[in-house]
Structure 1
Amino acid sequence: MHLQLTNPLVVLDLETTGIDLINDRILEIAFIKLMPNGQRSTFHKRVNPEIPIPLESSLIHGLYAEDLKDQPTFKQLAKELLVFLKGSDLAGFNLIRFDVPILVESFLRAELDFKIDNRKMIDVQRLFHLMEKRTLKAAYQFYCQKELKGAHNALVDSEATIEILLEQIKRYENQNVTDPLGNIMGTIQNDVKTLHNLTNSNRIDLAGRIIYNTERLPVFNFGKHKGKIVTEVLKLEPSYYNWILQGDFSLDTKRRLTQIKMGTLV
């Protein structure tokens, strides 16, 4: 099957230092251009980000500073990229929320304007979510093969959730769970502790402002100290603690930060 194209379509993916559209940088670019006549061409480059790469990001995409130190910067590649993208529509997975915004930001830093106003864009992730619903009702249909009647009644939803959980355990028990790099995170077991460890993120506070890094140390997950160990930041900049306590942060975030500061976080 071939896509019916009027313009060239560039299917793209970017690997980056993180997901902050303003402060993070591109590490790897992969563009595949599909032509209306069926031909295709590829642009694939690794990029020197000119900033440190957080370890937690490197563990996801496998790119480290040593790998990229001799690679061109985005600014050095920018004009060549614009030529490759000229007259093309765009497609990608989570394209609209991430790849295109960080790409536009990168071009602007390179003092070039990557115009998207007249380009058609296909977000494959959005299409996936539109067609394969991620609601409780859809999960009930998928796992239990039954229609959920009375959805959004709290008791009905809770009963359905029990049925879904039991079916998930039945379907996946003893199967390995892997991360995006294929590393085994654990195995599905009919055990609450195991399921807790698999389904809970590395968040320390519920808002995700403070998380565990790969060494299980609390680090800030926002702002100017993102990725830095909390205790080290508070030692070097004690006023940061008061700024958070007096700022527009959740009470849970403030409580967790205080626990870390006092050494009482369990």
Structure 2
Amino acid sequence: MRAYVTLDLETTGLEPRKDRIIEIGAVKVQGGMVTGEYATLVNPRMEIPERITALTGISDEMVQGKPYVREALEGLLEFCENLPLLGHNLMFDYSFVKHNAVNLDMDFEKEGMDTLKLSRILLPDLPSRSLQNLRVHYQIPQGDAHRALEDARTTYKLYERLRQEYEEQHPELFCPVPLFYKVKKQGPITPAQKRYLQDLIKYHRIDLNVEVESLTKNEASRLIDTILGTYGKIER
């Protein structure tokens, strides 16, 4: 029986180009049994939106002193080894990891399986195929919903239930497939951008909700444009 790693993330939003990872949860499965887990909060170096804290329970205070994304991803990549991934709406989680990995010069090319795609094919009559609705449908117990490790555990249990019920009739659906997500590397903020941004913040007395040093070149450019459009230029 194949081995795989179930992956789930919590993030500050839905767009990997501008939002950030705040928690990683992963479960290693071999022979249908859990053989290891990896979990960490991630300091996004920005304020966590209130709506995300309300959804996940993860606050700014909780991520203080936690690893930055480079250290967190190094641990994840080591944990995953060369195993395929499993996820519920897997491309969402994969896109965030891939986006950060490319920016940090890390290699993350994977095959994967998606319980959302499986459930759409195998359970077409259900009114919803969200992870939580499928958990209730199969009476899978869970602790904290919308926390990465708990959701990864639930996804593993859901996959094994689907596999037990349907793999014999539909073995092709349970084979990992290559995951394709193209990412263009974004370099870090330039020294000139950093100086100008810091001058704008000081001049307009702006309380920024993100660490300037953590910005990419593109993020810094968008932020500068936003400040100029909102507050105007520095008058000499």
Partner-residue secondary structure (3-state), 2:23: strand
Shift of 1:62: 1.1
Aligned pairs for 1:37-48 within 5 A: 38-48=33-43
Stretches of 4+ moved more than 6 A in 1? Answer: none
Partner-residue secondary structure (3-state), 2:78: helix
Q: Which residue of 2 is the match for residue 106 of structure 1?
A: 100
Matched, 1:30 2:21: no
Partner-residue secondary structure (3-state), 1:125: helix
Shift of 1:125: 1.1
Partner-residue secondary structure (3-state), 2:40: strand
Tell me, yes or no, if the aligned pair for 1:47 and 1:73 is still in contact at 8 Å.
Answer: yes
Structure 2 distance, partners of 1:20, 1:71, is 22
Structure 1 distance, partners of 2:83, 2:61, is 33
Matched, 1:72 2:67: yes
Tell me, yes or no, if the aligned pair for 2:7 and 2:86 is still in contact at 8 Å.
Answer: yes
The one-letter code of the counterpart of 1:80 is G
Residues 35-75 of structure 1 show CA distances to partners (whole Å, capped at 9, x for unaligned) of: 13745110011110112211112111111111101101111
Matched, 1:122 2:116: no
The one-letter code of the counterpart of 1:102 is F
Partner-residue secondary structure (3-state), 2:26: strand
Tell me, yes or no, if the aligned pair for 2:13 and 2:20 is still in contact at 8 Å.
Answer: yes
Higher relative contact order (CA 8 A, sep 6+): 2
Shift of 1:131: 2.5
Aligned length: 140
Structure 2 distance, partners of 1:90, 1:48, is 24
Aligned pairs for 1:204-223 within 5 A: none
Tell me, yes or no, if the aligned pair for 1:78 and 1:110 is still in contact at 8 Å.
Answer: no
Larger radius of gyration: 1
Tell me, yes or no, if the aligned pair for 1:74 and 1:110 is still in contact at 8 Å.
Answer: no
Q: Which residue of 1 is the match for residue 76 of structure 2?
A: 81
Structure 2 distance, partners of 1:84, 1:65, is 26
Tell me, yes or no, if the aligned pair for 1:75 and 1:110 is still in contact at 8 Å.
Answer: yes
Partner-residue secondary structure (3-state), 2:9: strand
The one-letter code of the counterpart of 2:115 is V
> Which runs of 5 or more residues in structure 2 are unaligned?
128-144, 147-218
So what's the TM-score if we normalise by structure 1?
0.47
Residues 117-142 of structure 1 show CA distances to partners (whole Å, capped at 9, x for unaligned) of: xx2x11111112223337xxx87xxx
Shift of 1:236: 4.1
Matched, 1:132 2:123: yes
Partner-residue secondary structure (3-state), 1:10: strand
Structure 2 distance, partners of 1:31, 1:99, is 11
Q: Which residue of 1 is the match for residue 187 of structure 2?
A: none
Residues 78-105 of structure 1 show CA distances to partners (whole Å, capped at 9, x for unaligned) of: 2222111111111111102x01111111
Q: Which residue of 1 is the match for residue 88 of structure 2?
A: 93
The one-letter code of the counterpart of 2:55 is I
> Which runs of 5 or more residues in structure 1 are unaligned?
140-179, 182-222, 238-266
Tell me, yes or no, if the aligned pair for 1:48 and 1:72 is still in contact at 8 Å.
Answer: yes
**Aligned-pair Cα RMSD in Å:** 3.0
From the superposition, tell whether residues 37 and 133 of structure 1 become closer, same or farther in structure 2 (CA, over 3 Å): closer
